[in-house]
Amino acid sequence: MCGVFGIYGHPEAANLTYLGLHALQHRGQESAGIVTSDGDQLSSDRGMGHVIDVFPPDHLARLKGQHAIGHVRYSTAGGSFLKNAQPIAVDYARSSVAVAHNGNLTNAEAVREKLEERGSIFQTSSDTETIVHLVALSQQKAPEDRIADALSQVQGAYSLVCLTPDSLIAARDPMGIRPLCLGKMPDSGAYVVASEPSSFDLIDAKYVRDIEPGEMVIIDKQGVRTLRPFGDAPRKSCIFEYVYFSRPDSIIDGVSVYQARKNLGRQLAKLHGVEADVVIPVPDSGVPATIGYAEESKIPFELGLVRSHYVGRTFIEPQQSIRHFGVRLKLNPVGAALEGKRVVVVDDSIVRGTTSRKIVKMLRDAGAKEVHMRISSPPTKWPCYYGIDTPTRGELIASSHSVEEINQYITSDTLAYLPMDAMIESVVNAKTGPAQQARSRLPVLQSEKPLTKDSFCVACWTGEYPIEFTPHPRQRQMRLLDV
C-alpha cells in the first residue's frame, strides 16, 4: 500500500511531484518523500506524515531540478520509521540512483542475507533497499541495465520509479500485480509516471497508457524507450485495487474503478437482495457499490453514515472512556436516514470484523430496525504478501468462522458476501471504451496482456498465491528490531 510518482523534463518537477503525491495520498499516509535531479546531482527530502505536512514551501524550494520521483508510504514490509521512508537515494561507484517502490518483494530477506554475507550494510528494514544494493553491485554499465539486472534477482510485486541524474526509469513486475501508468503534459512535453492516472488530472497531464506487466520504460534525453527485460509470466493484477484500494476516478489497465464498484453493488443486489427501506454505504470506499445496489434493487440510497476526513495519525482521547471512540472518530450515524428503517449496509470487505460490529451497533443505536450487511467481495481468508496491508491469518475473522458465525459476531440481521465469479465478472465488465483508453504511439514490445477473467490475483480469498512465498526465518527478527 504505497503510491509512486515520477516526472521527467519539467522546470517545476518538485512542485508537480508534490501535487501528484497529494492525489495519491490514499495509498499511504505514514511517510512521504521526493528526490529531484538537476541533471547532475540528486536532492532528497523525506518525512513522516501527510504530503502537505512533510513539504512546506521552503522544503520544496530546496528540491532543484527538472526530473523527480516521489513516494507515499504505508508500511507493509519494514516498520513505520523515517529511515524506511522512500524514495531511497544512494551514491554508488559510478553514479547515483533513487528508487520508489509500491508492492512487496517475496524473496527480499533471502537476497538481503546473501548481500550481507558479502559485506553489504543495510540502512533500513524495507524490502526496497535490496533493489538499491543490487543496482549498486551490478556489473552492467547503463542504469537501465543495472536496474533490469537487479530486478531479475527479486521476486514479488513491484511497480517502481527510479531516478538517475539524467533518466527516469519505470518498471512493473512481470505479473503486473500493482498498477503503474504513463502520462504526458501536453504543454511542456514532460513525461509523468504514477500509480494511478487520477493523479495526472490535478497537474493537467494526459493519461497515455498503462505500463505493461514486465515492461520497463526509460525516459531520458533521447525520448521514451521500452524494454521487456524479464521472463514472461501470466498477468495477475490485484483485484482488490478495484474493490477497495484505488481511487474511483482512476482507470486502471483499461477498467474504470468506479464502474467496477457499481457493478459489484449491482451483483450484490441481484444475488443477495433483501427487503429493506434504505441502502447505505460505509463511506468512502463503499459508495459506488451502494449506488449500484440501489439502482439494481430500486431501494433508495441514503447517507446513513458520515465520514470525517480529518482523522490524523494522532488524536487526544479523553481519559474517561467514550464508547465506540475509535470508529466514531471516522464514522457517525445520521439518525434522520435510519430511524425506524430496515437498512442494507454495503462495505467492501470485512477484515477482523471489529469495524462492522461497531457499525451495526451504531446503526441500531441510531434507530435502525433491521441491519443487513452486504460485502462487495468474498470472505477475506488469507493475508496479502504483495503489498496490501492485511493482518495474519489468525486475525482474519473469515479464516476461522463461517458466514453465519460472522453474522452473529457482528450482530447483523443478515450478512452476505459477493461470490468470486460475480466479483471478477463485475470488474471485467467495467472495461472502458476505446475513447477513454486513447493510447499513444509509444511502442510496446510484444503483445499486450489484456485483462480477462483469468488475469487477477485473488489470493486473499483463495490462498492460491501466484508467486510462492515462504516466510524467511529472519522476518521475525527484523520485526523485533523495528519495535
Residues 134-173 vs ligand AMP: string with x where CB under 6 A? Answer: ----------------------------------------
Residues 302-341 vs ligand AMP: string with x where CB under 6 A? Answer: ----------------------------------------
Asked if 124 and 78 touch (Cβ cutoff 8 Å), the reply is yes
Number of H helices, E strands in the chain: 18, 23
Count CA atoms closer than 13 A to 96's CA, side-chain side: 19
* Position 350 contacts ligand AMP (CB under 6 A): yes
CA angle 386, 388, 394 (to 5 degrees): 95
Nearer to ligand AMP, 220 or 348 (CB): 348
Nearer to ligand AMP, 155 or 355 (CB): 355
Q: SS3 of 348, please?
A: coil
Cα–Cα distance measured from residue 156 to residue 471, given in angstroms and rounded to the nearest whole number: 13
Among 84, 259, 390, 412, binds ligand AMP (CB under 6 A): 390
Among 326, 353, 367, 419, binds ligand AMP (CB under 6 A): 353
Q: Which of residues 235-254 bind ligand AMP (CB under 6 A)?
A: 244
Cα–Cα distance measured from residue 116 to residue 315, given in angstroms and rounded to the nearest whole number: 40
* Position 349 contacts ligand AMP (CB under 6 A): yes
Shortest approach of ligand AMP to residue 363 CB, angstroms? 14
Candidate segments 199-207, 223-231, 385-393, 429-437, binder of ligand AMP by CB under 6 A: 385-393
Please work out the total of residues on this chain that contact ligand AMP, with binding judged by CB under 6 A.
16
* Position 348 contacts ligand AMP (CB under 6 A): yes
Nearer to ligand AMP, 245 or 301 (CB): 245
Cell numbers given for 191 = 513525461
Shortest approach of ligand AMP to residue 161 CB, angstroms? 23
Asked if 219 and 147 touch (Cβ cutoff 8 Å), the reply is no
Nearer to ligand AMP, 190 or 398 (CB): 398
Asked if 35 and 41 touch (Cβ cutoff 8 Å), the reply is no
Candidate segments 20-28, 41-49, 152-160, 346-354, binder of ligand AMP by CB under 6 A: 346-354
Residue carrying C-alpha cell 481519559: 319
Shortest approach of ligand AMP to residue 355 CB, angstroms? 3
Give the ranges where 138-195 is alpha helix by DSSP (H). 143-151
Q: Catalytic pick from 2, 181, 238, 384?
A: 2
* Position 188 contacts ligand AMP (CB under 6 A): no
Cα–Cα distance measured from residue 170 to residue 157, given in angstroms and rounded to the nearest whole number: 14
Shortest approach of ligand AMP to residue 354 CB, angstroms? 4
Nearer to ligand AMP, 68 or 410 (CB): 410
3-class SS letters over 244-271: HHCCCCCEECCEEHHHHHHHHHHHHHHH
Asked if 103 and 126 touch (Cβ cutoff 8 Å), the reply is no
**Residues whose CB is less than 8 angstroms from the CB of residue 456 and which lie 6 or more positions away in sequence, other chains included:** 236, 237, 238, 239, 424, 427
Strands 206-210 and 181-184: antiparallel
Cα–Cα distance measured from residue 90 to residue 130, given in angstroms and rounded to the nearest whole number: 12
Shortest approach of ligand AMP to residue 104 CB, angstroms? 13
Cell numbers given for 150 = 537487479
* Position 347 contacts ligand AMP (CB under 6 A): yes
Among 120, 153, 354, 399, binds ligand AMP (CB under 6 A): 354
Residues 258-297 vs ligand AMP: string with x where CB under 6 A? Answer: ------------------------x--x------------
Is 2 one of the annotated active-site residues of the chain?
yes
Cα–Cα distance measured from residue 408 to residue 403, given in angstroms and rounded to the nearest whole number: 9
Nearest alpha carbon to residue 264 among 283, 247, 284, 240: 240
Nearer to ligand AMP, 191 or 456 (CB): 456
**Catalytic amino acids?**
2
Binding site for ligand AMP (CB under 6 A): 244, 282, 285, 347-356, 388-390
